[in-house]
Structure 1
Amino acid sequence: MARDVQITFDCADPAAVAAFWAEALGYRLQDPPAGFDSWDQALTAMGVPAERRNDASALVDPEGAGPRLFFQRVPEHKQVKNRVHLDVRAAPGLVGDERMAALEAESERLVSHGATRLQRHEPAPPLGAGHIVMADPEGNEFCLD
């Protein structure tokens, strides 16, 4: 039986990291519970104090196809390279110079939203199509593929 998957990010600032990934992936903030016009309204009704309102955030694919992304505040900062990372498919179907130009354009766009460019890997046929390694605003690595 296939299962739904949620991808969880540990971070210091869930709202900011969620905003970055919403921009990177075209996702949107998950709607507040039924009966509430905003998350602030829902959290007030739940008795969540102001200083705890950025403890978590969640994004959903507006088309309902991709996994839910959940961002949770943790006290420790990232220490080492991720063992699992996301590949953001920014150049599907493209090859060679056209592919790398599309990846470069997406890299520049995401840097303007707080990402850091880490490394470019040139195409190495037949198996290596080329990609760019990036990090989100809190240092979580991902690839533009």
Structure 2
Amino acid sequence: MIGGADDDHMNGGAGRDFLRGDQGSDRLYGGIGNDQIQGGDGSDRLYGGRGNDRLVGGLGRDVFVLEKGIGSDVIRDFQVGQDSLGLGQGLSFNRLDITQSGRNTIISFGSDRLATLVGIQVNQVTSNQFIAM
């Protein structure tokens, strides 16, 4: 599913969905399944949903929403100082485990891996990048 020039709101549903917001400030929800979600231009909000999803915000100030108990997302283009990580219900920065794994940063809540930030060093991740949802 591909959006247009306006602000799009897309829900993937069940299955392996591909969502791309294109232009505008979009809200993209993967739903159930291992989805690929791309924000495109604009300041987008990306929700992976249930499953292990791949998220790319694109240009703009994007928010990647983390939620517990629904899968682990791979965030491929997190921009430190520009993008944010949204904390879903029951999550707070102080309760997260943030660790380095090779060239990537892993964000976990107990034994629940929430996300992998590709190419981001753990010392680049601070409370300033997290917002309550």
TM-score (norm 2): 0.27
Structure number with higher relative contact order (C-alpha < 8 Å, ≥ 6 residues apart): 1
Rg larger in structure: 1
More strand as a share of residues = 2
